[in-house]
Amino acid sequence: MNMPIASPPQLPVHVVAVGLHGLRHLLEELIPSVRNAEVTLIEKAYDEAVGDIAALRRRATVDAIVAAGSNGNYLRQRLDIPVVLVRVSGFDVMQGLSAARRYAGRIALVTYGVVSDEIRQFVETFALPVELRSYGNEDEARACVHELKSMDVEVVVAPGLVVDLARENGLTGMLIYSQRLVREAIEDAVEVGRLRRSEAAKRDRINTILGELRDGVVAVDTEGRIEVLNPAMEKILGQPAGRLVGRPLASFMGDLDLEPTLRWQRPELERVQRFSGRTLVTSRVPIIEQGRLTGAVLTCQDPEAIRRMDRSLRTRSASRMRSVRYGLDDIVGDSRLIADVRARVLACARSRATVLITGESGTGKELIAQSIHMESERSSQPFVAINCGAFPESLLESELFGYTEGSFTGASRGGKTGLFEAAHTGTLFLDEIGEMPLSLQTRLLRVLQEKEVLRIGATDPTPIDVRIIAATHQDLASQVAAGVFRRDLYYRLNILLIRLAPLRDRPEDLRPLIQALQKKWLEQPGDRPQLDEALVKALLEASRNYAWPGNVRELENVLERVMVLSDLYPAQGAAADALKTLVPEIFEEGAAASGSLEERRRAADLRHIKQVLRECGGNQAKAAELLNISRTTLWRRLKSDGQGAG
């Protein structure tokens, strides 16, 4: 952005006063009494003054200029700093003339530019014997003085230049400017300089902010011409600001222009656009100042940056924010298997050793981990959970171990506390441990052995006291055999083992789970219908042939659907039919729990895929995204079932 850098605000305002001869004397008299500003006097005129001011500006900031007459006007046209002109008022002219009348001869009043009406009227009203003249440049001033001399004028009241010329020609010259007007002009210049400086400081602030923004920002005036753009936008446009400011945005940005925004004065947010080979998320907003349109702003975001930010927010919420909600009492089930789990939870809670929980998705692994924590002596300490499968390797590493300030590009100031440290004195739940990359497995093993963590970039390890509970739906032993999981880590984790059986292997738990879920449902605010016993019976009946691939989580979902929708389907005598309409998936062919484990799993997967596909209204792309599998995989699975991609 090509804006001047303001001097630091603590420096006093710097004003340059330009004047020769008579005006110079007045300025010299007044300058010592100026407060809160530094004033430099330049005894030059026209081009010479311009040159001196330029030289001065190379060394120091000049905030404003005071000058008078034709010289003042000349400077105004050539400099980009405000030039305050010494005014000429009727009152001061009157004083000048009355002083001139003390001289015997004829009097002339010469002003720069046209003679003002105020002065003309004043002279006429008092029938003063005064010649009125004006001049626009030095030659005219010279000609004017010669004419006055030939007319036998003796006293000339005029600006400095003419006063000098008059004296050179043997006339009496009296300066038209009064001390009062010159003082006022200096004061005005100081004020203008001060305002200008605070404006510049504000602009610098905005520029700094814009410079820091990773999004590209460009603002245009009401004509669509570029007023300002930030470095990120320069990059997007591939041209420096110096070449762009003042040019119409539409002339080279085509699709990115702001003309419709200026025309309709309506914001348009988050549009995805292509611009010179890259995808951008653009937003356009009109600038309305005090009810008037003054321009518009375009911001361009890089979708990759948005994704990165989203990921880091997710990291935060996926790890730290999970609060402990469950205890032993929340583990529901009448089966012997669940009774065994409860006993193991209590035993684990009394120990400090690492626990490994295995079980299919939705069997309650996190519920068990939280229960162990809540029953242990660490219950009032932090419970920190992270899903190791949800992050790319580098992010998982920095989440777990933290890093020191400046350890890599993009590292936050002050570094970052890792989850091991965050869980100090408490419990760290490592969900989906089977997904942890080998390199991190090695680091994890070291933490377990040494009981200390080393932040990325650090040299000194931090001692920690953390209880580790790991969980997986995978068969870690076969992962060890396949070489993707470290054997030593497996042994280290597998000290206390809790195996959670799939729901289909413990049908006795279905009824108590349904009851517990219904109780929770009824406790929620609002008018909630009781679940019809006939429907429950029909559900239990249908479950006998259903594998519940999503286990308790799936049961929760199915039940919620039934409870929400059951009112719509009068159940009397037709509970099974109603259920078929509400949860068709559990009646589907192939849903039966038969065949090999692998076949059952595949059938269960397929049912799940189909259900998600139904929920997405048949949109395969969306279903693939929800299922976290590629579209090709989705397509292949459906195809294997005889349903090609359609």
Ligand X SMILES: Nc1ncnc2c1ncn2[C@@H]1O[C@H](COP(=O)(O)OP(=O)(O)OP(=O)(O)O)[C@@H](O)[C@H]1O
In the complex, which residues of this chain contact ligand X (CB under 6 A)? 330-333, 338, 359, 361-367, 431, 473, 552-553, 556
Q: Pairing between strand 278-289 and 467-472?
A: unpaired
Residue type at 10 in one-letter notation: Q
Alpha-carbon distances of 285 from 192, 218, 236, 268, 300, rounded to whole Å: 32, 11, 19, 6, 12
State the nearest-atom distance from the C-beta of 470 to ligand X, in Å: 12
336 or 636: whose CB is closer to ligand X?
Answer: 336
Give CA–CA dist 143/126, Å, rounded.
28
Asked if residue 302 lies in contact with residue 309, where contact means CB atoms within 8 angstroms, the answer is no
Give CA–CA dist 260/268, Å, rounded.
10
Q: 302 phi and psi, to 5 degrees?
A: -90, 120
Cβ-based burial of 264 (10 A; exposed 0-12, middle 13-18, buried ≥19): exposed
State the nearest-atom distance from the C-beta of 616 to ligand X, in Å: 20
State the nearest-atom distance from the C-beta of 475 to ligand X, in Å: 14
Residue type at 560 in one-letter notation: E
State the nearest-atom distance from the C-beta of 598 to ligand X, in Å: 19
* DSSP 3-state of 111: strand
In 3D, which of 592, 561, 597 has the Cα closest to residue 360? 597
For 392-429, give the secondary structure using H, E and C.
Answer: CHHHHHHHHHEECCCCCCCCCCCCEECHHHHCCCCEEE
Give CA–CA dist 82/74, Å, rounded.
12
452 is written with which tokens? 């200390």
Range 409-440 burial, b when 16+ CB lie within 10 A, else e: eebeeebbebbbbbbbebbbbbbbbbbbeeeb
* DSSP 3-state of 408: coil
68 or 500: whose CB is closer to ligand X?
Answer: 500
363 or 398: whose CB is closer to ligand X?
Answer: 363
96 or 364: whose CB is closer to ligand X?
Answer: 364
Query: 206 Cβ partners below 8 Å, 6+ apart?
Result: none
* DSSP 3-state of 411: coil
Give CA–CA dist 131/148, Å, rounded.
8
State the nearest-atom distance from the C-beta of 345 to ligand X, in Å: 11
State the nearest-atom distance from the C-beta of 325 to ligand X, in Å: 8
366 or 421: whose CB is closer to ligand X?
Answer: 366
231 or 364: whose CB is closer to ligand X?
Answer: 364
State the nearest-atom distance from the C-beta of 241 to ligand X, in Å: 51
72 or 434: whose CB is closer to ligand X?
Answer: 434
158 or 341: whose CB is closer to ligand X?
Answer: 341
183 or 553: whose CB is closer to ligand X?
Answer: 553
Query: 465 Cβ partners below 8 Å, 6+ apart?
Result: 424, 425, 451
Give CA–CA dist 343/338, Å, rounded.
9
State the nearest-atom distance from the C-beta of 342 to ligand X, in Å: 9
224 or 364: whose CB is closer to ligand X?
Answer: 364
Give CA–CA dist 454/398, Å, rounded.
11
299 or 472: whose CB is closer to ligand X?
Answer: 472
Give CA–CA dist 307/64, Å, rounded.
49
State the nearest-atom distance from the C-beta of 628 to ligand X, in Å: 12
Give CA–CA dist 470/484, Å, rounded.
17
- Distance from first CA to last CA of the chain, Å, rounded? 53
State the nearest-atom distance from the C-beta of 331 to ligand X, in Å: 5
State the nearest-atom distance from the C-beta of 290 to ligand X, in Å: 55
Residue with the shortest CB distance to ligand X: 364
Helix, strand, coil: what percent of the chain each, to 5? 50, 20, 30
403 or 429: whose CB is closer to ligand X?
Answer: 429
State the nearest-atom distance from the C-beta of 243 to ligand X, in Å: 55
248 or 389: whose CB is closer to ligand X?
Answer: 389
State the nearest-atom distance from the C-beta of 388 to ligand X, in Å: 11
Give CA–CA dist 52/78, Å, rounded.
13
